[in-house]
Chains A and B, each alone.
Chain A
Protein backbone atom coordinates (compact mmCIF):
# COMPACT_ATOMS: atom_id res chain seq x y z
CA UNK A 1 0.00 0.00 0.00
CA UNK A 2 2.81 2.38 0.91
CA UNK A 3 4.56 1.38 -2.26
CA UNK A 4 1.52 2.22 -4.33
CA UNK A 5 1.07 5.56 -2.63
CA UNK A 6 4.72 6.36 -3.14
CA UNK A 7 4.48 5.49 -6.83
CA UNK A 8 1.44 7.70 -7.19
CA UNK A 9 3.18 10.62 -5.49
CA UNK A 10 6.27 10.13 -7.61
CA UNK A 11 4.13 10.00 -10.73
CA UNK A 12 2.37 13.20 -9.81
CA UNK A 13 5.65 14.93 -9.07
CA UNK A 14 7.12 13.66 -12.29
CA UNK A 15 4.16 14.93 -14.26
CA UNK A 16 4.35 18.33 -12.69
CA UNK A 17 8.03 18.90 -13.25
CA UNK A 18 9.99 18.96 -16.45
CA UNK A 19 12.79 16.33 -16.48
CA UNK A 20 15.62 18.81 -16.02
CA UNK A 21 13.94 20.26 -12.95
CA UNK A 22 13.58 16.76 -11.53
CA UNK A 23 17.28 16.12 -12.10
CA UNK A 24 18.35 19.32 -10.41
CA UNK A 25 16.04 18.54 -7.54
CA UNK A 26 17.76 15.21 -7.09
CA UNK A 27 21.17 16.90 -7.01
CA UNK A 28 19.81 19.36 -4.45
CA UNK A 29 18.54 16.51 -2.25
CA UNK A 30 21.90 14.74 -2.53
CA UNK A 31 23.76 17.91 -1.56
CA UNK A 32 21.44 18.46 1.40
CA UNK A 33 22.00 14.88 2.55
CA UNK A 34 25.79 15.28 2.24
CA UNK A 35 25.66 18.50 4.22
CA UNK A 36 23.49 16.91 6.92
CA UNK A 37 25.86 13.96 7.10
CA UNK A 38 28.95 16.13 7.46
CA UNK A 39 27.43 18.44 10.06
CA UNK A 40 25.99 15.50 11.98
CA UNK A 41 29.29 13.68 12.03
CA UNK A 42 31.27 16.46 13.70
CA UNK A 43 28.98 19.04 15.28
CA UNK A 44 27.70 16.98 18.26
CA UNK A 45 31.22 16.40 19.57
CA UNK A 46 31.59 20.14 20.12
CA UNK A 47 28.04 20.91 21.14
CA UNK A 48 26.97 18.01 23.38
CA UNK A 49 28.45 16.87 26.68
CA UNK A 50 29.73 13.38 27.34
CA UNK A 51 26.46 12.18 28.87
CA UNK A 52 24.33 13.29 25.93
CA UNK A 53 26.81 11.84 23.44
CA UNK A 54 26.77 8.50 25.23
CA UNK A 55 22.98 8.50 25.10
CA UNK A 56 23.02 9.42 21.42
CA UNK A 57 25.57 6.68 20.65
CA UNK A 58 23.32 4.11 22.35
CA UNK A 59 20.25 5.52 20.65
CA UNK A 60 21.75 5.28 17.19
CA UNK A 61 22.90 1.71 17.87
CA UNK A 62 19.37 0.84 18.94
CA UNK A 63 18.16 2.62 15.82
CA UNK A 64 20.31 0.45 13.55
CA UNK A 65 18.92 -2.66 15.26
CA UNK A 66 15.44 -1.20 14.83
CA UNK A 67 16.20 -0.63 11.15
CA UNK A 68 16.93 -4.33 10.74
CA UNK A 69 13.52 -5.17 12.24
CA UNK A 70 11.74 -2.42 10.31
CA UNK A 71 13.24 -3.58 7.03
CA UNK A 72 11.78 -7.07 7.46
CA UNK A 73 8.49 -5.66 8.72
CA UNK A 74 7.87 -3.18 5.95
CA UNK A 75 9.22 -5.22 3.05
CA UNK A 76 8.33 -8.80 3.93
CA UNK A 77 5.61 -8.28 6.54
CA UNK A 78 7.59 -10.39 9.00
CA UNK A 79 8.07 -9.28 12.61
CA UNK A 80 11.17 -10.59 14.30
CA UNK A 81 11.28 -10.85 18.08
CA UNK A 82 14.79 -12.32 18.08
CA UNK A 83 16.92 -9.47 16.73
CA UNK A 84 18.84 -9.09 20.00
CA UNK A 85 19.97 -12.71 19.95
CA UNK A 86 22.07 -11.97 16.87
CA UNK A 87 23.10 -8.54 18.16
CA UNK A 88 24.41 -9.97 21.44
CA UNK A 89 25.47 -13.28 19.95
CA UNK A 90 27.90 -11.60 17.58
CA UNK A 91 29.49 -9.87 20.55
CA UNK A 92 30.05 -13.21 22.24
CA UNK A 93 31.46 -14.66 19.03
CA UNK A 94 33.80 -11.71 18.63
CA UNK A 95 35.08 -12.12 22.18
CA UNK A 96 35.44 -15.89 21.91
CA UNK A 97 37.17 -15.68 18.53
CA UNK A 98 39.85 -13.46 20.02
CA UNK A 99 40.30 -15.09 23.44
CA UNK A 100 39.84 -18.78 22.53
CA UNK A 101 40.76 -18.99 18.86
CA UNK A 102 43.51 -16.32 19.08
CA UNK A 103 42.31 -14.43 16.01
CA UNK A 104 43.25 -10.82 15.33
CA UNK A 105 40.40 -8.32 15.89
CA UNK A 106 39.75 -7.96 12.17
CA UNK A 107 39.74 -11.72 11.62
CA UNK A 108 37.46 -12.10 14.63
CA UNK A 109 35.00 -9.64 13.10
CA UNK A 110 35.02 -11.52 9.82
CA UNK A 111 34.67 -14.88 11.57
CA UNK A 112 31.76 -13.76 13.75
CA UNK A 113 29.92 -12.21 10.82
CA UNK A 114 30.38 -15.40 8.81
CA UNK A 115 28.96 -17.47 11.67
CA UNK A 116 25.98 -15.10 12.00
CA UNK A 117 25.29 -15.24 8.27
CA UNK A 118 25.37 -19.03 8.26
CA UNK A 119 23.16 -19.17 11.36
CA UNK A 120 20.65 -16.78 9.78
CA UNK A 121 20.61 -18.76 6.55
CA UNK A 122 19.94 -22.06 8.35
CA UNK A 123 17.34 -20.61 10.72
CA UNK A 124 15.72 -18.69 7.89
CA UNK A 125 15.58 -21.74 5.65
CA UNK A 126 13.63 -23.46 8.44
CA UNK A 127 11.23 -20.74 9.52
CA UNK A 128 10.70 -18.52 6.48
CA UNK A 129 8.28 -21.06 5.02
CA UNK A 130 5.80 -20.49 7.81
CA UNK A 131 3.27 -17.66 7.98
CA UNK A 132 3.98 -14.23 9.53
CA UNK A 133 2.38 -15.03 12.88
CA UNK A 134 4.27 -18.32 13.20
CA UNK A 135 7.44 -16.53 12.11
CA UNK A 136 7.04 -14.10 14.98
CA UNK A 137 6.63 -16.93 17.49
CA UNK A 138 9.57 -18.85 16.06
CA UNK A 139 11.96 -15.91 16.13
CA UNK A 140 11.01 -15.42 19.78
CA UNK A 141 11.75 -19.10 20.45
CA UNK A 142 15.06 -19.00 18.55
CA UNK A 143 16.10 -15.89 20.45
CA UNK A 144 15.31 -17.50 23.79
CA UNK A 145 17.28 -20.55 22.67
CA UNK A 146 20.41 -18.42 22.18
CA UNK A 147 19.89 -16.73 25.57
CA UNK A 148 19.66 -20.14 27.23
CA UNK A 149 22.64 -21.49 25.31
CA UNK A 150 24.88 -18.70 26.63
CA UNK A 151 23.94 -19.62 30.19
CA UNK A 152 24.71 -23.34 29.77
CA UNK A 153 27.05 -24.76 32.40
CA UNK A 154 29.13 -26.53 29.74
CA UNK A 155 29.87 -23.25 27.96
CA UNK A 156 30.76 -21.37 31.13
CA UNK A 157 34.45 -21.30 30.24
CA UNK A 158 33.59 -19.50 27.02
CA UNK A 159 30.70 -17.25 28.03
CA UNK A 160 31.14 -16.76 31.82
CA UNK A 161 27.43 -17.48 32.33
CA UNK A 162 25.37 -14.66 33.79
CA UNK A 163 28.42 -12.50 34.60
CA UNK A 164 29.04 -11.54 31.00
CA UNK A 165 32.35 -11.09 29.21
CA UNK A 166 34.73 -8.18 29.14
CA UNK A 167 35.73 -7.68 25.52
CA UNK A 168 38.89 -5.83 24.70
CA UNK A 169 41.56 -6.10 22.08
CA UNK A 170 45.20 -5.15 21.85
CA UNK A 171 46.67 -3.31 18.89
CA UNK A 172 44.56 -1.38 16.45
CA UNK A 173 41.46 -1.99 14.35
CA UNK A 174 41.05 0.24 11.29
CA UNK A 175 43.72 2.46 12.84
CA UNK A 176 41.81 2.86 16.10
CA UNK A 177 42.59 1.46 19.53
CA UNK A 178 40.10 -0.16 21.86
CA UNK A 179 39.97 3.05 23.91
CA UNK A 180 38.88 5.06 20.88
CA UNK A 181 35.80 2.94 20.40
CA UNK A 182 34.94 3.28 24.09
CA UNK A 183 35.26 7.08 23.98
CA UNK A 184 31.78 8.45 23.33
CA UNK A 185 33.00 11.47 21.34
CA UNK A 186 35.32 9.38 19.13
CA UNK A 187 32.66 6.73 18.69
CA UNK A 188 29.97 9.13 17.52
CA UNK A 189 31.32 9.67 13.95
CA UNK A 190 31.78 5.90 13.62
CA UNK A 191 28.22 5.02 14.58
CA UNK A 192 26.88 8.02 12.64
CA UNK A 193 28.67 6.86 9.48
CA UNK A 194 27.52 3.27 10.03
CA UNK A 195 23.93 4.42 10.45
CA UNK A 196 24.12 6.37 7.18
CA UNK A 197 25.78 3.50 5.33
CA UNK A 198 23.31 0.89 6.56
CA UNK A 199 20.38 3.26 6.12
CA UNK A 200 21.40 3.94 2.51
CA UNK A 201 21.91 0.24 1.84
CA UNK A 202 18.41 -0.53 3.14
CA UNK A 203 17.04 2.38 1.09
CA UNK A 204 18.71 0.97 -2.03
CA UNK A 205 17.39 -2.56 -1.39
CA UNK A 206 13.91 -1.16 -0.88
CA UNK A 207 14.02 0.48 -4.30
CA UNK A 208 15.57 -2.53 -6.00
CA UNK A 209 13.85 -5.41 -7.72
CA UNK A 210 14.29 -7.47 -4.55
CA UNK A 211 12.27 -4.90 -2.60
CA UNK A 212 9.51 -4.91 -5.18
CA UNK A 213 9.31 -8.71 -5.17
CA UNK A 214 9.24 -8.76 -1.37
CA UNK A 215 6.43 -6.23 -1.14
CA UNK A 216 4.40 -8.02 -3.79
CA UNK A 217 4.91 -11.32 -1.95
CA UNK A 218 3.81 -9.71 1.29
CA UNK A 219 0.57 -8.61 -0.31
CA UNK A 220 -0.28 -11.93 -1.88
CA UNK A 221 2.16 -14.78 -1.87
CA UNK A 222 -0.05 -17.14 -3.84
CA UNK A 223 -0.44 -14.65 -6.66
CA UNK A 224 3.33 -14.21 -6.87
CA UNK A 225 3.96 -17.95 -6.96
CA UNK A 226 1.26 -18.29 -9.57
CA UNK A 227 2.93 -15.59 -11.67
CA UNK A 228 6.13 -17.59 -11.68
CA UNK A 229 8.11 -15.73 -9.02
CA UNK A 230 10.28 -17.47 -6.47
CA UNK A 231 8.89 -16.28 -3.14
CA UNK A 232 11.20 -18.30 -0.91
CA UNK A 233 14.63 -17.07 -2.01
CA UNK A 234 13.91 -13.33 -1.78
CA UNK A 235 12.42 -13.66 1.69
CA UNK A 236 15.35 -15.76 2.82
CA UNK A 237 17.72 -13.13 1.41
CA UNK A 238 15.82 -10.42 3.29
CA UNK A 239 16.02 -12.41 6.52
CA UNK A 240 19.75 -12.95 6.14
CA UNK A 241 20.28 -9.26 5.31
CA UNK A 242 18.30 -8.19 8.38
CA UNK A 243 20.44 -10.46 10.54
CA UNK A 244 23.67 -9.20 8.99
CA UNK A 245 22.57 -5.66 9.87
CA UNK A 246 21.75 -6.75 13.42
CA UNK A 247 25.15 -8.47 13.59
CA UNK A 248 27.04 -5.39 12.36
CA UNK A 249 25.17 -3.33 14.91
CA UNK A 250 26.10 -5.83 17.63
CA UNK A 251 29.77 -5.55 16.68
CA UNK A 252 29.64 -1.77 16.97
CA UNK A 253 27.95 -2.18 20.33
CA UNK A 254 30.56 -4.56 21.70
CA UNK A 255 33.42 -2.38 20.44
CA UNK A 256 31.81 0.62 22.14
CA UNK A 257 30.84 -0.91 25.46
CA UNK A 258 33.69 -3.42 25.75
CA UNK A 259 31.30 -5.76 27.48
CA UNK A 260 28.71 -8.34 26.47
CA UNK A 261 26.20 -9.96 28.82
CA UNK A 262 23.11 -12.17 28.55
CA UNK A 263 21.06 -9.00 28.84
CA UNK A 264 22.33 -7.84 25.44
CA UNK A 265 20.70 -10.83 23.75
CA UNK A 266 17.47 -11.04 25.70
CA UNK A 267 13.87 -10.49 24.70
CA UNK A 268 13.88 -7.10 26.46
CA UNK A 269 16.32 -5.61 23.98
CA UNK A 270 14.49 -7.15 21.02
CA UNK A 271 11.25 -5.53 22.10
CA UNK A 272 13.02 -2.21 22.72
CA UNK A 273 14.30 -2.29 19.16
CA UNK A 274 10.86 -3.24 17.88
CA UNK A 275 9.39 -0.28 19.75
CA UNK A 276 12.02 2.05 18.28
CA UNK A 277 11.01 0.84 14.82
CA UNK A 278 7.34 1.45 15.62
CA UNK A 279 8.06 4.91 17.05
CA UNK A 280 9.96 6.01 13.98
CA UNK A 281 7.72 4.17 11.55
CA UNK A 282 8.90 1.18 9.56
CA UNK A 283 8.43 2.55 6.06
CA UNK A 284 11.61 4.64 5.81
CA UNK A 285 15.29 4.25 6.66
CA UNK A 286 15.43 7.41 8.73
CA UNK A 287 12.39 6.50 10.82
CA UNK A 288 13.79 3.60 12.86
CA UNK A 289 17.12 5.40 13.37
CA UNK A 290 15.28 8.43 14.71
CA UNK A 291 13.04 6.10 16.72
CA UNK A 292 16.08 4.55 18.36
CA UNK A 293 17.38 7.94 19.47
CA UNK A 294 13.94 9.01 20.71
CA UNK A 295 13.58 5.75 22.62
CA UNK A 296 17.04 6.08 24.17
CA UNK A 297 16.22 9.55 25.51
CA UNK A 298 12.78 8.47 26.73
CA UNK A 299 14.32 5.41 28.34
CA UNK A 300 16.75 7.67 30.16
CA UNK A 301 13.76 9.47 31.72
CA UNK A 302 11.80 6.31 32.54
CA UNK A 303 14.84 4.23 33.45
CA UNK A 304 15.61 6.54 36.36
CA UNK A 305 12.49 5.14 37.99
CA UNK A 306 13.18 1.54 36.91
CA UNK A 307 10.32 1.63 34.43
CA UNK A 308 12.15 0.91 31.17
CA UNK A 309 10.07 -2.11 30.26
CA UNK A 310 6.87 -0.27 31.15
CA UNK A 311 7.83 2.36 28.58
CA UNK A 312 8.37 -0.40 26.02
CA UNK A 313 4.95 -1.91 26.64
CA UNK A 314 3.13 1.43 26.59
CA UNK A 315 4.91 2.57 23.45
CA UNK A 316 4.04 -0.65 21.58
CA UNK A 317 0.34 -0.21 22.36
CA UNK A 318 0.18 3.55 21.75
CA UNK A 319 2.08 3.50 18.47
CA UNK A 320 0.28 0.52 16.97
CA UNK A 321 -3.18 1.69 17.96
CA UNK A 322 -2.85 5.46 17.47
CA UNK A 323 0.15 6.14 15.19
CA UNK A 324 0.62 3.07 12.99
CA UNK A 325 3.06 4.88 10.71
CA UNK A 326 5.27 6.25 13.50
CA UNK A 327 6.41 9.82 14.09
CA UNK A 328 7.98 10.12 10.64
CA UNK A 329 4.78 8.87 9.00
CA UNK A 330 2.57 11.02 11.20
CA UNK A 331 4.71 14.07 10.43
CA UNK A 332 4.51 13.34 6.69
CA UNK A 333 0.74 12.93 6.87
CA UNK A 334 0.48 16.20 8.77
CA UNK A 335 2.73 18.02 6.29
CA UNK A 336 0.75 16.64 3.36
CA UNK A 337 -2.49 17.73 4.99
CA UNK A 338 -1.16 21.28 5.46
CA UNK A 339 0.16 21.33 1.90
CA UNK A 340 -3.17 20.17 0.49
CA UNK A 341 -5.12 22.73 2.49
CA UNK A 342 -2.81 25.52 1.37
CA UNK A 343 -3.11 24.46 -2.25
CA UNK A 344 -6.87 24.38 -1.93
CA UNK A 345 -6.93 27.89 -0.53
CA UNK A 346 -4.53 29.13 -3.19
CA UNK A 347 -6.43 27.44 -6.01
Chain B
Protein backbone atom coordinates (compact mmCIF):
# COMPACT_ATOMS: atom_id res chain seq x y z
CA UNK B 1 0.00 0.00 0.00
CA UNK B 2 2.56 2.56 1.08
CA UNK B 3 5.14 1.77 -1.68
CA UNK B 4 2.35 1.96 -4.27
CA UNK B 5 1.30 5.31 -2.88
CA UNK B 6 4.85 6.63 -3.08
CA UNK B 7 5.36 5.29 -6.60
CA UNK B 8 2.13 6.87 -7.82
CA UNK B 9 2.90 10.21 -6.27
CA UNK B 10 6.39 10.13 -7.79
CA UNK B 11 4.87 9.49 -11.22
CA UNK B 12 2.57 12.49 -10.90
CA UNK B 13 5.34 14.60 -9.38
CA UNK B 14 7.63 13.81 -12.32
CA UNK B 15 5.31 15.66 -14.70
CA UNK B 16 4.82 18.49 -12.24
CA UNK B 17 8.57 18.89 -11.69
CA UNK B 18 9.23 19.29 -15.39
CA UNK B 19 6.46 21.88 -15.68
CA UNK B 20 7.07 23.91 -12.55
CA UNK B 21 10.85 24.05 -12.85
CA UNK B 22 10.29 25.48 -16.33
CA UNK B 23 7.99 28.12 -14.85
CA UNK B 24 10.54 28.91 -12.16
CA UNK B 25 13.34 29.23 -14.75
CA UNK B 26 11.42 31.75 -16.87
CA UNK B 27 10.45 33.64 -13.73
CA UNK B 28 14.09 33.84 -12.68
CA UNK B 29 15.17 35.37 -15.96
CA UNK B 30 12.21 37.53 -16.92
CA UNK B 31 10.32 38.12 -13.65
CA UNK B 32 7.23 36.84 -15.44
CA UNK B 33 5.02 33.94 -14.51
CA UNK B 34 4.09 32.33 -17.80
CA UNK B 35 0.36 31.70 -17.46
CA UNK B 36 0.49 30.11 -20.91
CA UNK B 37 2.70 27.26 -19.69
CA UNK B 38 -0.29 24.93 -19.40
CA UNK B 39 -1.14 25.61 -23.05
CA UNK B 40 2.44 24.74 -24.07
CA UNK B 41 2.04 21.44 -22.23
CA UNK B 42 -1.25 20.85 -24.05
CA UNK B 43 0.42 21.69 -27.39
CA UNK B 44 3.18 19.21 -26.57
CA UNK B 45 0.61 16.54 -25.76
CA UNK B 46 -1.41 17.04 -28.96
CA UNK B 47 1.72 17.21 -31.12
CA UNK B 48 2.90 14.05 -29.38
CA UNK B 49 -0.44 12.41 -30.12
CA UNK B 50 -0.25 13.27 -33.83
CA UNK B 51 3.41 12.35 -34.25
CA UNK B 52 2.96 9.11 -32.31
CA UNK B 53 0.20 8.12 -34.72
CA UNK B 54 2.44 8.62 -37.74
CA UNK B 55 5.90 7.72 -36.53
CA UNK B 56 5.55 6.11 -33.11
CA UNK B 57 5.96 7.17 -29.50
CA UNK B 58 9.75 7.46 -29.44
CA UNK B 59 9.88 9.82 -32.39
CA UNK B 60 7.15 11.90 -30.72
CA UNK B 61 9.16 12.06 -27.51
CA UNK B 62 12.04 13.63 -29.43
CA UNK B 63 10.23 15.69 -32.06
CA UNK B 64 7.55 17.30 -29.91
CA UNK B 65 10.02 18.90 -27.45
CA UNK B 66 12.12 20.21 -30.36
CA UNK B 67 9.06 21.85 -31.91
CA UNK B 68 8.10 23.23 -28.51
CA UNK B 69 11.60 24.69 -28.10
CA UNK B 70 10.98 26.64 -31.32
CA UNK B 71 7.66 27.86 -29.92
CA UNK B 72 9.53 28.90 -26.77
CA UNK B 73 12.05 30.83 -28.86
CA UNK B 74 9.16 32.59 -30.60
CA UNK B 75 7.58 33.39 -27.22
CA UNK B 76 10.84 34.94 -26.05
CA UNK B 77 11.54 36.93 -29.22
CA UNK B 78 8.02 38.07 -30.05
CA UNK B 79 6.50 38.52 -26.59
CA UNK B 80 8.78 38.58 -23.58
CA UNK B 81 11.60 40.66 -25.09
CA UNK B 82 9.48 43.37 -26.76
CA UNK B 83 7.37 43.70 -23.62
CA UNK B 84 10.16 43.65 -21.05
CA UNK B 85 9.67 47.32 -20.17
CA UNK B 86 5.98 46.77 -19.37
CA UNK B 87 4.81 45.87 -15.88
CA UNK B 88 5.16 42.21 -14.98
CA UNK B 89 1.46 41.85 -14.32
CA UNK B 90 0.68 43.04 -17.85
CA UNK B 91 3.13 40.60 -19.40
CA UNK B 92 1.69 37.79 -17.27
CA UNK B 93 -1.79 38.70 -18.54
CA UNK B 94 -0.52 38.65 -22.13
CA UNK B 95 0.82 35.12 -21.59
CA UNK B 96 -2.58 34.18 -20.14
CA UNK B 97 -4.26 35.53 -23.28
CA UNK B 98 -1.82 33.75 -25.59
CA UNK B 99 -2.37 30.53 -23.65
CA UNK B 100 -6.14 30.81 -24.12
CA UNK B 101 -5.66 31.45 -27.85
CA UNK B 102 -3.32 28.45 -28.21
CA UNK B 103 -5.74 26.20 -26.31
CA UNK B 104 -8.65 27.31 -28.51
CA UNK B 105 -6.67 26.77 -31.70
CA UNK B 106 -5.84 23.23 -30.54
CA UNK B 107 -9.49 22.51 -29.72
CA UNK B 108 -10.44 23.91 -33.14
CA UNK B 109 -8.13 21.43 -34.89
CA UNK B 110 -8.54 18.39 -32.66
CA UNK B 111 -12.13 18.76 -31.44
CA UNK B 112 -13.39 18.65 -27.89
CA UNK B 113 -13.22 14.95 -27.05
CA UNK B 114 -10.44 13.30 -25.06
CA UNK B 115 -7.81 11.25 -26.91
CA UNK B 116 -5.78 8.35 -25.65
CA UNK B 117 -2.21 7.51 -26.54
CA UNK B 118 -0.94 3.96 -26.08
CA UNK B 119 2.35 3.37 -24.38
CA UNK B 120 4.96 1.82 -26.70
CA UNK B 121 5.12 -1.99 -26.63
CA UNK B 122 8.44 -2.08 -24.78
CA UNK B 123 6.85 -0.13 -21.90
CA UNK B 124 3.37 -1.61 -22.06
CA UNK B 125 3.40 -4.37 -19.44
CA UNK B 126 3.90 -4.25 -15.73
CA UNK B 127 6.70 -5.50 -13.55
CA UNK B 128 6.65 -7.19 -10.15
CA UNK B 129 9.19 -6.22 -7.52
CA UNK B 130 9.06 -6.43 -3.71
CA UNK B 131 5.65 -8.07 -3.97
CA UNK B 132 4.27 -5.08 -5.84
CA UNK B 133 3.03 -5.11 -9.42
CA UNK B 134 3.55 -1.81 -11.14
CA UNK B 135 3.14 -0.56 -14.74
CA UNK B 136 6.49 -0.21 -16.50
CA UNK B 137 5.36 3.01 -18.17
CA UNK B 138 4.99 4.75 -14.83
CA UNK B 139 8.45 3.61 -13.78
CA UNK B 140 9.74 5.05 -17.07
CA UNK B 141 7.91 8.29 -16.30
CA UNK B 142 9.49 8.47 -12.86
CA UNK B 143 12.89 7.74 -14.43
CA UNK B 144 12.54 10.54 -16.99
CA UNK B 145 11.21 12.97 -14.38
CA UNK B 146 13.97 12.33 -11.88
CA UNK B 147 16.74 12.31 -14.50
CA UNK B 148 15.54 15.59 -16.04
CA UNK B 149 15.58 16.97 -12.53
CA UNK B 150 19.17 15.73 -12.05
CA UNK B 151 20.30 17.07 -15.44
CA UNK B 152 18.81 20.45 -14.62
CA UNK B 153 20.63 20.53 -11.29
CA UNK B 154 23.95 19.55 -12.95
CA UNK B 155 23.52 22.17 -15.66
CA UNK B 156 22.65 24.94 -13.20
CA UNK B 157 25.45 24.09 -10.79
CA UNK B 158 28.36 22.95 -12.97
CA UNK B 159 28.25 24.89 -16.23
CA UNK B 160 29.03 28.47 -17.17
CA UNK B 161 25.62 29.16 -18.66
CA UNK B 162 24.01 27.60 -15.58
CA UNK B 163 26.09 29.89 -13.38
CA UNK B 164 24.93 32.86 -15.44
CA UNK B 165 21.29 31.79 -15.11
CA UNK B 166 21.66 31.60 -11.35
CA UNK B 167 23.40 34.97 -11.30
CA UNK B 168 20.66 36.71 -13.29
CA UNK B 169 17.98 35.04 -11.18
CA UNK B 170 19.53 36.32 -7.97
CA UNK B 171 20.73 39.79 -8.91
CA UNK B 172 19.59 40.80 -12.40
CA UNK B 173 21.18 44.24 -12.47
CA UNK B 174 24.53 43.19 -11.02
CA UNK B 175 24.71 40.21 -13.38
CA UNK B 176 24.12 42.52 -16.35
CA UNK B 177 26.80 44.88 -15.08
CA UNK B 178 29.24 41.98 -15.03
CA UNK B 179 28.67 41.48 -18.74
CA UNK B 180 26.13 38.66 -18.79
CA UNK B 181 23.84 38.83 -21.81
CA UNK B 182 20.46 38.29 -20.16
CA UNK B 183 18.58 38.34 -23.46
CA UNK B 184 20.58 35.44 -24.89
CA UNK B 185 20.23 33.49 -21.64
CA UNK B 186 16.53 34.16 -21.60
CA UNK B 187 16.20 32.74 -25.11
CA UNK B 188 17.95 29.59 -23.94
CA UNK B 189 15.87 29.31 -20.79
CA UNK B 190 12.51 29.97 -22.44
CA UNK B 191 13.22 27.39 -25.16
CA UNK B 192 14.34 24.91 -22.52
CA UNK B 193 11.20 25.48 -20.42
CA UNK B 194 8.97 25.06 -23.45
CA UNK B 195 10.85 21.88 -24.44
CA UNK B 196 10.35 20.52 -20.91
CA UNK B 197 6.65 21.29 -21.23
CA UNK B 198 6.75 19.34 -24.51
CA UNK B 199 8.37 16.33 -22.82
CA UNK B 200 5.79 16.49 -20.05
CA UNK B 201 2.97 16.72 -22.60
CA UNK B 202 4.12 13.68 -24.58
CA UNK B 203 4.71 11.67 -21.40
CA UNK B 204 1.29 12.64 -20.06
CA UNK B 205 -0.42 11.08 -23.11
CA UNK B 206 -0.30 7.40 -22.08
CA UNK B 207 -0.40 8.22 -18.35
CA UNK B 208 -3.30 10.66 -18.07
CA UNK B 209 -5.12 11.53 -21.28
CA UNK B 210 -5.03 14.20 -23.94
CA UNK B 211 -8.07 16.41 -23.48
CA UNK B 212 -9.12 20.05 -23.88
CA UNK B 213 -9.10 20.85 -20.15
CA UNK B 214 -5.56 19.62 -19.52
CA UNK B 215 -3.98 23.06 -19.84
CA UNK B 216 -6.01 24.67 -17.06
CA UNK B 217 -5.63 21.67 -14.73
CA UNK B 218 -1.88 21.71 -15.24
CA UNK B 219 -1.32 25.45 -14.92
CA UNK B 220 -3.36 25.60 -11.72
CA UNK B 221 -1.32 22.73 -10.22
CA UNK B 222 1.91 24.41 -11.31
CA UNK B 223 0.94 27.79 -9.89
CA UNK B 224 0.15 26.17 -6.56
CA UNK B 225 3.51 24.38 -6.64
CA UNK B 226 5.40 27.52 -7.56
CA UNK B 227 3.76 29.48 -4.74
CA UNK B 228 4.38 26.68 -2.23
CA UNK B 229 7.97 26.27 -3.41
CA UNK B 230 8.80 29.96 -3.20
CA UNK B 231 8.55 31.70 -6.58
CA UNK B 232 11.64 31.35 -8.73
CA UNK B 233 13.25 28.73 -6.53
CA UNK B 234 13.88 25.54 -8.50
CA UNK B 235 14.78 23.33 -5.50
CA UNK B 236 11.68 24.70 -3.79
CA UNK B 237 9.58 23.86 -6.85
CA UNK B 238 10.92 20.29 -6.89
CA UNK B 239 10.18 19.71 -3.21
CA UNK B 240 6.76 21.31 -3.60
CA UNK B 241 5.98 19.14 -6.65
CA UNK B 242 6.83 16.00 -4.67
CA UNK B 243 4.69 17.20 -1.78
CA UNK B 244 1.85 18.10 -4.13
CA UNK B 245 2.01 14.73 -5.88
CA UNK B 246 1.88 12.94 -2.55
CA UNK B 247 -1.01 15.01 -1.19
CA UNK B 248 -2.98 14.54 -4.42
CA UNK B 249 -2.45 10.76 -4.55
CA UNK B 250 -2.86 10.15 -0.82
CA UNK B 251 -5.96 12.33 -0.87
CA UNK B 252 -7.56 10.27 -3.61
CA UNK B 253 -6.83 7.07 -1.66
CA UNK B 254 -7.82 8.08 1.87
CA UNK B 255 -10.36 10.85 1.26
CA UNK B 256 -11.73 10.20 -2.22
CA UNK B 257 -14.64 12.56 -1.61
CA UNK B 258 -12.43 15.52 -0.80
CA UNK B 259 -9.36 14.69 -2.92
CA UNK B 260 -10.02 17.52 -5.36
CA UNK B 261 -9.66 20.01 -2.53
CA UNK B 262 -6.48 18.53 -1.01
CA UNK B 263 -4.01 20.64 -3.03
CA UNK B 264 -5.82 23.85 -2.06
CA UNK B 265 -5.78 22.86 1.59
CA UNK B 266 -2.04 22.27 1.26
CA UNK B 267 -1.62 25.68 -0.35
CA UNK B 268 -3.55 27.48 2.38
CA UNK B 269 -1.66 25.61 5.10
CA UNK B 270 1.73 26.53 3.63
CA UNK B 271 0.67 30.15 3.15
CA UNK B 272 -0.42 30.38 6.77
CA UNK B 273 2.90 29.06 8.05
CA UNK B 274 5.27 30.57 5.48
CA UNK B 275 3.71 33.23 3.25
CA UNK B 276 6.76 33.24 0.97
CA UNK B 277 6.81 29.50 0.36
CA UNK B 278 9.21 26.86 1.58
CA UNK B 279 12.11 27.56 -0.78
CA UNK B 280 14.42 30.54 -0.86
CA UNK B 281 13.01 32.14 -3.97
CA UNK B 282 13.52 35.74 -4.89
CA UNK B 283 10.69 37.87 -3.56
CA UNK B 284 7.98 38.35 -6.15
CA UNK B 285 7.55 41.83 -7.46
Interface residues of A (CB under 8 A from B): 77, 79, 81, 126-127, 129-134, 136-138, 140-142, 144-145, 148-149, 151-154, 267, 271, 274, 278, 307, 309-310, 312-317, 320-321, 324
Contacts and interface: CB of A to CB of B under 8 A. Distances in A.
Given A313-B99, A317-B98, A320-B90, A137 B104 contact: no
A141 B265 CA distance: 11
A309 B103 contact: yes
A126 B104 contact: no
A316 B267 CA distance: 28
A79 B93 contact: yes
Contacts of A274: 93
Contacts, number: 112
Contacts of A151: 260
A313 B100 contact: yes
5 contacts: A141-B224, A307-B104, A309-B100, A313-B104, A314-B97
Interface size class of B (residues with CB under 8 A): 35 or more
B97, B99, B257 pick with most chain A CB within 10 angstroms? B97
A310 B104 contact: yes
A151 B253 CA distance: 18
A137, A151, A271, A314 pick with most chain B CB within 10 angstroms? A137
For the residues of B in contact with A, the DSSP-based class is: helix
B88 A148 contact: no
A152 B260 contact: yes
B90 A134 contact: no
B258 to A, nearest CB: 7
B101 A137 contact: no
Contacts of A312: 97, 100
B62 interface: no
A259 to B, nearest CB: 22
B220 A133 contact: no
A79 B89 contact: yes
Given A271-B100, A317-B101, A126 B223 contact: no
B101 A134 contact: no
Interface string B95-136: 011111111110010000000000000000000000000000
Contacts of B97: 312-317, 320
A134 B96 contact: no
A314 B268 CA distance: 33
Nearest to A73: B89
Contacts of A126: 268, 271-272
B94 A321 contact: yes
A131 B277 CA distance: 12
A274 B97 CA distance: 11
